[in-house]
Chains A and B, each alone.
Chain A
């Protein structure tokens, strides 16, 4: 019962480096999301994919890009990492983009940019 799998779990980057966070779900969900979690800020939506083949910006998209590779996989790329991108990143999925059956979250990627 994997649910939503995120890799890696931890990462340290130097300023200016790039990396891709991977996310895969095995629940045949249509919609997938990337959030970042910062103390006192809650969860803020970076990008989402309402269905396979579509992606849209969320609240805080600057500095990020995404790819909905297929129905299962949704990756988040940092092209040139900055210290402000130090955060915990969560991927989530849901049956529909409205999420009224709940979102299933992965266990997160803790990213530190030095």
Chain B
């Protein structure tokens, strides 16, 4: 079974809106939580990552929020742009990466 549960499976947002993707885990040994972005026909690429001793990390329009007690973390894409249309994977590692099922984000112009 997947060790990292991701939702929603897909979402559509208007240009300028906020996209929110949620992930949950059970394994308390996980200590590094990256997000990967994948465009059609390409391999995933590291977007942003967080460690559990930090509650929030922001890089440009992308923010990870982390709730250690709830074992949940989320990706917020602010001011979503058509170029952000992609599939996003959350992941977690103890000694190797486990990926969520992915969220396909479509940004309408």
Q: Report the bound CA distance from A102 to B32 in whole Å.
A: 10
A106-B102 CB under 8 A given contacts A45-B96, A97-B95, A98-B32: no
CB atoms of B96 and A40 under 8 A apart: no
Q: Report the bound CA distance from A100 to B100 in whole Å.
A: 17
CB atoms of A42 and B95 under 8 A apart: no
Q: Mark A1-19, 1 if CB is under 8 A from B, else 0.
A: 0001000000000000000
A90-B43 CB under 8 A given contacts A42-B99, A43-B99, A102-B34: yes
With a 10 A CB-CB cut-off, give which of B6, B43, B95 has the most chain A CB atoms: B43
Q: Which of B73-103 contact A (CB under 8 A)?
A: 89, 93, 95-102
Q: Report the bound CA distance from A33 to B93 in whole Å.
A: 14
Chain B residue numbers with a CB within 8 Å of A42 are 2, 6, 89, 99-102
- Interface residue range, chain A: 20 to 34
A99-B97 CB under 8 A given contacts A105-B45, A107-B42: yes
Which single member of A41, A99, A102, A106 contacts B96 (CB below 8 Å)? A99
Chain A residue numbers with a CB within 8 Å of B34 are 99, 102
Q: Report the bound CA distance from A4 to B45 in whole Å.
A: 12
CB atoms of A40 and B44 under 8 A apart: no
Q: Report the bound CA distance from A45 to B46 in whole Å.
A: 17
Which single member of A58, A100, A106 contacts B43 (CB below 8 Å)? A106
In the complex, besides A45-B96, A108-B41, 10 extra interface pairs with C-beta distance below 8 angstroms are: A4-B43, A40-B101, A42-B99, A42-B100, A43-B44, A58-B96, A97-B95, A98-B93, A105-B45, A108-B43
